[in-house]
A and B are shown apart, each in its own frame.
Chain A
Amino acid sequence: MSRDPGPEASALLAWDRALLSRALAELPPLNRAVVVLRHEEDLSYEQIADLTGLPLGTVKTYLFRGRQRLRESLKNEVGA
């Protein structure tokens, strides 16, 4: 688990982390919250709906749009 990925891999990882961190920070709060609940906390759509009190469809919309935005901003950063 604690394998050292090596200096090059670490640098790459740090770059990715920084980009993702910034991209997450730029998401609207609700999109960010739903994305984090889904991926860091590994909650299901239904659990997120229950926790937030949002309708299931709304949870999905925020999640899908949030990830789409993350993907786009990461692509733009890498391509820039």
Chain B
Amino acid sequence: MKDSACVDQSALQMHVERTLAASEQQRVNTHLAECATCRLAVAEYKQLMWDLRQPVEIPIPAELERSYDRLLQAWKDEQRAQATARSRTRSIVPAWAGYSVRWTRNLPGVGSLGAMLSRGGNSAIRSSLTRLLGRKGRERRFR
């Protein structure tokens, strides 16, 4: 069955992630019990999300490759600032380090960037994301 009664793709994804509100979850469960098409979609999303959690070689986006030097410099500046004054703000996403290094080239010396960034603050992280997203004017908001 695949008709207008089907729940939308976002609800199916949230079902897999267990992020649906209880009432919505009940509605999705009821639908899944009778819809093989949506059950298949759920199975595929489960597979996809599992796959995404495994190490994936991601080609470096041109926008980040271009800004790699600046990313490194942002980190160095951050480290210098932290060396002189202990930052009171802890990074909410130290795991970002892994993300950064995955998106950068696996060159000698670059591999440790992730570990270094994990001790850095939000500013280097956010500036790297800003460049990644390539959205002009967003830097101002991050500061």
Indicate if B57 sits at the interface (CB-CB under 8 A).
yes
Residues of B within 8 A of A (CB-CB), count = 35
Please name all residues of chain A whose beta carbon is closer than 8 Å to the beta carbon of B53 when the two chains form the complex. 39-40, 42
Cα A33 to Cα B49 with chains together (Å): 15
For the complex formed, measure the closest distance between the CB of A71 and the CB atoms of chain B, giving whole angstroms. 5
State which residues 72-88 of B face A: CB under 8 Å: none
A67 lies within 8 A of B63 (CB):
no
Say whether chain B's binding surface is mostly helix, strand, loop, or mixed.
helix
Residues 35-71 of A, flagged 1 when their CB comes within 8 A of B and 0 if not, give 1110111110101001111000000100110011011
Report which of A32, A43, A63, A71 forms a contact with B48, defined as CB distance below 8 A.
Answer: A71
B70 at the interface (CB under 8 A from A): no
A interface: dominant SS: helix
Q: Which chain A residues lie closer than 8 Å to B61 at the CB level?
A: 25, 29, 32
Q: Residues of A at under 8 Å CB distance from B?
A: 16-17, 20-21, 24-25, 29-30, 32-33, 35-37, 39-43, 45, 47, 50-53, 60, 63-64, 67-68, 70-71, 74-75
Q: List 9 A-B contacts (CB under 8 A).
A: A17-B57, A20-B52, A29-B133, A39-B49, A41-B98, A41-B99, A42-B95, A51-B93, A71-B41
Given known contacts A64-B10, A64-B13, A71-B45, what 4 new A-B pairs fall within 8 Å (CB)?
Answer: A36-B58, A39-B53, A43-B93, A67-B49
